[in-house]
Structures are given as C-alpha cells and as structure tokens.
Amino acid sequence: MAAAVAAATSISSRHLPLLLPPPPDLGAADLWAFLLERNPSGAKPCGGAIPLCMLDEFAIPRDLVDRRVTRMRVLSPSNLAADFSRALPPGAHIPMLRREVLDSFLRRRAADAGATLVPGLVTSLSLPADPATDPYLVHYISSDSGGPSSSRCVLEVDAVIGADGANSRVAREVGAGDYSTAIAFQERIRLPDEAMAYYDDLAEMYVGGDVSPDFYGWVFPKCDHVAVGTGTVAAKPEIKRLQSGIRARAAGKVAGGRVVRVEAHPIPEHPRPRRVVGRVALVGDAAGYVTRCSGEGIYFAARSGRLCGRAMADEWRLTGAVTEAGIRAGYLRRWDDEFRPTFRFLDLLQRVFYGGNAGREALVEMCADEHVQRRTFDSYLHKRMAPAEPWGDLRLLWRTAAAMVRCGVLGREVERLRRLEQQAADQVLLRH
C-alpha cells in the first residue's frame, strides 16, 4: 500500500498496492520499488464504500464504481429506521467498489509507474547489523508462475513499507507491538432482480446486540449482488450467530438470494504502539488505521501509503538516504496531525453509543437529525472534520441527553424481549 524509495526498496503488501500516484520522476530519482503481493488474483473481504473525495484525490476512474449510494438507512435494535440521506448534498454519493477490481487497477498503475511486482509470500525480515547503513533482507517464497514453484528468495533493500494487513508479518519482525483486532464476517449474496432493484442506490446498517455487541451489521450493494455482514471484537467465537442475526433482520429483503462467497478477515481496533521502527514503516491495516464506530479503512490505507512513500522518496532525493527520523517527520507526524482527532472522536462515539441497546436506539434517533447528517457527510465525503457550529452543537448535546433518557426505557424493553425470544428458542431445542 505504498510507494518507492532508495536503491532497492521493498514494499511488502498482501492486499493492495497504493502508488496513487507514485512519487514524481521515479526513474530520474534513481529509485527502485518492489511490491510483494502474496496473491494478486485474490480479493480482500471488504464492504467497499469509499469517500467521494477519494475518486479525485487518488485519480480512481469512475467506471470502477459499481454503485452510487444516495440513500442510507440505519436501523435500531427495535427496527426503527433513520433515513440518513436527507442532508446529502446535490450530486454527492457514496461510491461502492469491489476490492478485487480496485486492487487489480492499482497494481497495474503501480507497474506502469515503474514498480516491480513480485508475486510472493514474505516469510521473514532480517534486520541490518548497522541500523543506519546496512540493508534489510526480505525473505519470501516466490509464487511467480514463470519460475519454479515455492522457490525461496531474498531481496536486499534500503527501506520497507509494511502494508500486509492486520496480521502483519512485517510488524511482528520489527517488534511493532500488539493490538486488539476485531473480526469481520461477510456473505456476498446474489439476489433476484426485483430484490436487487431495492438496493440499487441504498445501503443499510443495522445496530443491536443481536447483530453485534460492539459494532454493526450491514447490507451494502455491489455490482450484481449485496454484501451482508457484521463485525465484533468482543464476541469473535460467536460471529456465525451474529451473522445469523443480520440475516434475520434483513430476511424479507434478501429472501431468495444465493450465497456466492463467504469472507472473513481481522480488522485492527486501534493504531499499533510503534508504526515506524528504523527504516521500516507500517501503513493501512498493518499500522492499525481503521476507525472505530464506522470501521472505515480504505481511504486511510491509501492516504497513509502516499504520505509514507513520499516522505521516503523526498528524503532520498535530498540526502541520498532514508532515516527513521525522516520517516517520522515526513510521515508519522503529518499523519497524526491530520487524522488523530478523527480517530479519537469516532472512538468516543463507539464508547458512548455501542455499549448497549439503549445507546443504539439513541444513536439511530440522532441519525434522523439533519444537523447530524450534514456534519457527518461533510466529514465523511471530504475527509475533513466539520467546523464547529456552537448553537447547533449545543442543541445537539441537549437532544443527545434527552434521547439517551428516552431510549433507556426502550432499550431495556428490547433487551427483555430478546431474552424471552432466546428462552423460547432454548425450550424448543430442549423438547426436540
């Protein structure tokens, strides 16, 4: 997920290469980039929503977009729905893509820009004896169809960008520290034409303890199917039960559908303790750049890859070397200055609203507020924190408090009914 630097720089990426665009004058700067991709023909499980600004910022062709979502519904534990689209600006939409299509395009563009694509699985990283000057040795198993199968290879490089997902081997090799991860589970379901027409430009999000104790379930439209899934960090062993919950909540709308693919993958819950170690930098999921509350990660992977790659390339042009201090200044400091407030704000929202069904009911009630919708779309579509509106925000604070009080009663009633349903189901199982 990144860019190129130094005499022979390795970019270890299991999922998607993001030279978007690559640093200018790649050849003139005497930089070589190698992108190691474990399975170029594979597809990372992903909801596929990206902010509108990403299309222009990263020059993504419009014909890669499967669906343009202009309607979004958020459904509470009691199935009260908030239409989250009233404040969508004219002409604005949420682009929905398939990762296998996006990733393939980005790999081709990386190669056109001068990167060398290397099909292979990174197995280990030998650290330099002299941290300042000696090279890193990237050990990998080549999967190039043109050569011998399972051949072991070594690549000598000056710097490494690890973009190899939540279970990053690069992060483990450099001791970047552990973090908690959630699991996302998703089924791709091909619907009958009339059912698919319902989701033509609509995305749905479901909240409730039955679909996730700490996240949400979703039904997102793709080209000729929908993605139906859920995620959790607190109840990973119960993910199949939670998936049954989202299937049950959306049952009438996905009836008659056929499951064409089942996917599961880990997603990070917070940034890693160390994201730059020596001349090794982590970006995307490997760095922990997935927001809580919304679970968004594609844009942040792209943005972090670009910042990191450019920081390395710029330092190489100026000094002929890449250093930890240079990466921290050119990448890490800029990233934290730009995005740390967003991550902290969404973490707070998750703690406040996802702790129980009362909070979830209040969240959906808040989503019906036009002030909330306008500020949400301003922040999401264009990736900037919406400016403060003191009077509107003060009214929102009072409405939030009132909603939490009202929905406390409703949330407790929903919990009671859920327990009764579960007891009835357990009794049926005992009789059988």
Among the listed ranges 292-296, 306-310, 326-330, 368-372, which one has the minimum average pLDDT value?
368-372
What domain range is 196 assigned to? 52-99+180-268
The domain boundary, picked from 345, 367, 401, lies at 345
Query: Tens of pLDDT along 355-376?
Result: 888 888 888 888 887 777 877 7
Side-chain half-sphere exposure of 311, counting CA atoms within 13 A:
29
Checking if the pLDDT of 394 tops 50, the result is no
The domain boundary, picked from 316, 345, 374, lies at 345
> pTM here?
0.83
Q: What is the structure's pLDDT at 13?
A: 33
Q: CA 152 to CA 140: how far, in whole Å? A: 6
In the numeric block, the tokens 């920081």 are attached to 311
**Total number of domains in the chain:** 3
Q: Across residues 404-414, what is the average pLDDT?
A: 49
Q: What is the structure's pLDDT at 431?
A: 56
Q: What is the structure's pLDDT at 85?
A: 73
Checking if the pLDDT of 315 tops 70, the result is yes
Q: What is the DSSP letter of 328?
A: I
Checking if the pLDDT of 253 tops 90, the result is yes
- Looking at the fold, whether 357 and 219 belong to one and the same domain comes out as no
**Strands, E, within 25-168: which ranges?**
33-37, 67-69, 71-75, 81-83, 94-96, 116-126, 136-142, 151-157, 160-163
- Looking at the fold, whether 248 and 112 belong to one and the same domain comes out as no
Query: Tens of pLDDT along 155-182?
Result: 999 999 999 999 999 999 999 998 888 8
**Bigger pLDDT: 19 vs 150:** 150
* pLDDT, the chain, mean: 81
- Looking at the fold, whether 20 and 109 belong to one and the same domain comes out as yes
Q: What is the CATH number of the domain that holds 323?
A: 3.50.50.60
Q: Across residues 411-429, what is the average pLDDT?
A: 56
Q: Where are the alpha helices (DSSP H) in 230-332?
A: 239-249, 251-254, 284-287, 298-319, 324-327
